Structure 1
């Protein structure tokens, strides 16, 4: 350091004042340019890391909405008449205000009972390989058909058929399944709902960032993204949905209920598999629209996103995050929020008095 200062003094001692001024200005410009180049390099590296870990969600094409099977599924999804008490539809547990999830801790079914687990969002859900908290539904159609004897309250799936006939659904089924002589079936009911749910995608600012629009998310969100990657959140929450694909243990570094204050510990996948290795295993939640889809975790035990991030860091990666780190990650997560799909509303055909 002494040698550098000495060389600097020798260099400037022979300069005229005006020459020295120009020299300093040029040096300043070079320092700024170097810092800018370094910042750009870091931004490029972050962008490349993000592209390697995540993927983009695309908007559903308009022509998808006009398919007869989608129009049928749209009606079925929102029609409360197609339940055992005439008051519950799929949309009751997947509300617009909660971005396709349920803001209640547990949903109310057609038998007047609360569900065992919190209802997850239906938005982007058809991009997942399996559904529900323990990945026990293999497709949207599987889930929809099972819901007939679940949340819809019927003793048998076929019990919905007289209601479909009564409320004039036969022409819609024939249009959706034109090659079938008798298309009004629980299987086709489920296929139609799945087709509708496939249109419920929510592209977000983060997708535009991944596509190359570097200003689609701001500096604070980029800092949160960097932390999300560095801390290890993306080890589980990766892919185009930032999760939603695998099953993992909730509570790697401690019993989850000690931090979530869950009233009754839920053993997750173990309840159906009876395999000890599956205890407290749940499907990893996707983080798309996570800012809008609380309460959080399988039992809806945590209502605040900052608290959920704090708990996840402690239980899953053994990190005690500082307040500013939590804030940065939450700001980043908000870049995953898209718009409620235009067709996620009660169809006009169901608006008329019954």
Structure 2
């Protein structure tokens, strides 16, 4: 089965559905025309006690085998929901296969992980907890620690009505992660009808984003996160880390030739504060990342002005968390 047969037709169907939803959202907001992107929707009701419990666990190294790492070790909520490293280092000094993606707006992704391994936060969280190079825990270890903790045993009993079990822990973490929405970006305000939210240059960047075809994959309210795409459609991207098989993409899961170099399309929300970029963090400059994507995915060489204009639009996708605009982690040069 070739790449187009495996992924192309489903892409068109998915894009059509997302476009329909976006058109409805744009129509309601007063923005003229058919819009492939939609405002970020408010998070639905989440049990506040479970959110609070999940947030406490998210920052607690009790979930790692050596009590050294927590979820925020790779997903810093005070910055962009990630860390400014190409690929983080796990237990015993082994570098992770992929760059740590932002955790913000993860509840709006249908596919999770760079290879789109999972469609459920609970399933992905379990994998992270048990992975020997991530948290390296076991279920007996986790449950014993939490039941022996006066604080956690009391919280789980009060919130779930019984001693902590596997499902409760996964539910608490996933509920907190679903709360990590970053609304009120300038672009969201623009789509909602505030024509003063974007400058003329930023609006022009949005036009280029649509006209050049970026929105064919980065679409919907999360501006990506739901589809698969081959990295290097028109030309091979720059060579990544030769010591990692991460460039193989979904092939490392499926063994199918058509899946070589295929990845989940990431969300572009908050992209200006989540460097470095791509599955292996090979580039720290957003303009450089835009130029690579234009050449490899669109078969287009951008002018300096077009690059600058597209970057200006992408910067309008930075939202707020707890009422504060997101900021990038300390800059470290990677390219």
Q: Which runs of 5+ in 1 are unaligned?
A: 1-45, 345-354
| Equivalent of residue 56 in structure 1, options 33, 39, 49 | 39
Tell me the distance in 2 between the aligned counterparts of 1:270 and 1:104.
Answer: 24
Tell me the distance in 2 between the aligned counterparts of 1:223 and 1:213.
Answer: 16
Partner of 1:85: 66
- Please say if 1:323 is aligned against 2:307: no
Partner of 1:5: none
| Equivalent of residue 168 in structure 2, options 170, 185, 188 | 188
- Could you say what secondary structure the match of 2:229 adopts? strand
- Please say if 1:177 is aligned against 2:157: no
Structure 1 length-normalised TM = 0.77
Give the number of the structure whose alpha-carbon radius of gyration is greater: 1
Tell me the distance in 2 between the aligned counterparts of 1:136 and 1:341.
Answer: 30
Q: Which runs of 5+ in 2 are unaligned?
A: 1-29, 326-335
Show CA shifts across 1:227-273 (max 9, x none). Answer: 11111111111111111100110000122234xx5445611001110
Tell me the distance in 1 between the aligned counterparts of 2:83 and 2:280.
Answer: 12
- Could you say what secondary structure the match of 1:48 adopts? coil
Tell me the distance in 1 between the aligned counterparts of 2:113 and 2:314.
Answer: 22
Tell me the distance in 2 between the aligned counterparts of 1:341 and 1:142.
Answer: 27
Tell me the distance in 2 between the aligned counterparts of 1:335 and 1:282.
Answer: 25
| Equivalent of residue 299 in structure 1, options 277, 280, 294 | 280
Conserved 8 A contact 2:82-2:103? yes
State the Cα distance separating 1:59 from its structure 2 match. 4.2
State the Cα distance separating 1:205 from its structure 2 match. 1.1
| Equivalent of residue 336 in structure 1, options 297, 317, 324 | 317
Show CA shifts across 1:106-144 (max 9, x none). Answer: 123344432110010110011111210011022111111
- Could you say what secondary structure the match of 2:263 adopts? strand
- Could you say what secondary structure the match of 1:257 adopts? coil
Query: CA, structure 1 residues 274+131, in 2 after alignment: closer, same or farther (shift >3 Å)?
Result: same
Show CA shifts across 1:216-235 (max 9, x none). Answer: 11111001001111111111
RMSD: 2.1
Alignment of 1:68-79 (within 5 A): 68-79=49-60
State the Cα distance separating 1:60 from its structure 2 match. 4.0
Conserved 8 A contact 2:231-2:237? yes
Alignment of 1:200-239 (within 5 A): 200-203=180-183, 204-239=185-220
| Equivalent of residue 95 in structure 1, options 53, 70, 76 | 76
Query: CA, structure 1 residues 343+234, in 2 after alignment: closer, same or farther (shift >3 Å)?
Result: closer
State the Cα distance separating 1:153 from its structure 2 match. 1.3
Conserved 8 A contact 1:82-1:89? yes
Tell me the distance in 1 between the aligned counterparts of 2:322 and 2:264.
Answer: 25
| Equivalent of residue 119 in structure 2, options 138, 144, 168 | 138
Alignment of 1:155-170 (within 5 A): 156-168=138-150, 169-170=152-153
Conserved 8 A contact 2:116-2:264? yes
- Please say if 1:290 is aligned against 2:271: yes
Tell me the distance in 2 between the aligned counterparts of 1:343 and 1:73.
Answer: 21
Tell me the distance in 2 between the aligned counterparts of 1:343 and 1:109.
Answer: 30
Q: Say how many residue pairs are matched.
A: 290
- Could you say what secondary structure the match of 2:271 adopts? coil
Query: CA, structure 1 residues 197+152, in 2 after alignment: closer, same or farther (shift >3 Å)?
Result: same
